[in-house]
Amino acid sequence: MMKKFDEKELATYDGRNGKPVYIAYKGKVYDVSSSFLWKNGKHQVIHRAGMDLTEAFKHAPHGEEVLKRFPVVGFLRKNENDQKRVISRILQQISQMEETSIKGINIVVKHLF
């Protein structure tokens, strides 16, 4: 069974003081310690290890295919408060709808994510 990391625990895998270099992307945690591009937990001076880089990948000169070279060591567990906020926003949007159809709910959910 794969390890589940929260953001606080993931942050401890920052490549400093001999620690492994982990990054998260789309809910998966990758060990990129073997990459010379992540020496000391930094990548291209911009990115730090121990973080969720899902958003950063949208602006990277490469795609997610580069991660296929590295092992997945676990999954990123989102903060419970973040999940509650998302659910609250969904319910708020649904309550404001005049017609709560399945189609309408799907549109709201797609908009939020």
Q: How confident is the model at residue 29 (pLDDT cuts 50, 70, 90)?
A: very high
| Structural fold of domain 3-76 | Flavocytochrome B2; Chain A, domain 1 (3.10.120)
6 or 36: which leads in pLDDT: 6
Of the candidates 58, 55, 86, 67, the residue with the CA atom closest to the CA atom of residue 29? 67
State how far the Cα of 89 lies from the Cα of 105, in Å rounded to an integer: 12
List the Cα angle 91/29/58 in 5-degree steps: 70
Q: Mean pLDDT, the chain, as a whole number?
A: 76
State how far the Cα of 39 lies from the Cα of 1, in Å rounded to an integer: 28
Is the pLDDT at 50 greater than 60, yes or no?
Answer: yes
Task: Give the range with max mean pLDDT: 5-14, 80-89, 102-111.
Answer: 5-14
State how far the Cα of 91 lies from the Cα of 109, in Å rounded to an integer: 10
State how far the Cα of 12 lies from the Cα of 58, in Å rounded to an integer: 24
**What would you report as the CA-atom Rg of the chain, rounded to the nearest whole angstrom?**
18
